[in-house]
Amino acid sequence: AQKVTQAQTEISVVEKEDVTLDCVYETRDTTYYLFWYKQPPSGELVFLIRRNSFDEQNEISGRYSWNFQKSTSSFNFTITASQVVDSAVYFCALLNTGGFKTIFGAGTRLFVKA
């Protein structure tokens, strides 16, 4: 079975704090892809990053960084020096290459206060 768990329902931080959003996934596939999407109040989900199951290198893009660990089936997302504009719901997603169906977690709502 494929499953994505985002245990943190809501997180509230003060601007400039670092924050980590957790994502744990389950899959029996050896080849799969993991994604993070951002959903601002406007409602449109925006793609942030994609990782395949064979690439465990961490990635950094500006204030965003991602830590992929197959040993713990986790794909965590860290925002450094958070800003008010980072306030949104963040979704982790899993794509199994067998069925090409993207499964989303329940999302983590991030509030960044000025």
Residues that bind other proteins (CB under 8 A): 4, 6, 33, 35, 37, 42-47, 50, 52, 91, 93, 95, 97, 99-107
In this complex, which beta carbon is closest to other proteins, that of residue 15 or of residue 111?
Answer: 111
* Nearest distance, CB of residue 96 and other proteins, angstroms: 10
Min separation Cβ 31 and other proteins, Å = 10
Q: Return the number of the residue (39 or 65) whose C-beta is nearest other proteins.
A: 39
Q: Nearest distance from residue 19's CB to other proteins, in Å? A: 19
The nearer residue to other proteins, 13 or 49, going by C-beta atoms, is 49
Q: What is the identity of the amino acid at 56? A: E
Closer Cβ to other proteins, 10 or 17, answer by number: 10
Give the CA distances from residue 1 to residues 86, 95, 97, 103, 104, in Å, rounded to whole numbers and listed in that order: 32, 12, 13, 11, 13
Please report how close the Cβ of residue 100 comes to other proteins at its closest, in angstroms.
5
The backbone torsions φ and ψ at residue 70, rounded to the nearest 5 degrees and listed phi first, read: -65, -30
Selection from 53, 41, 34, 51 nearest residue 91 by Cα: 34
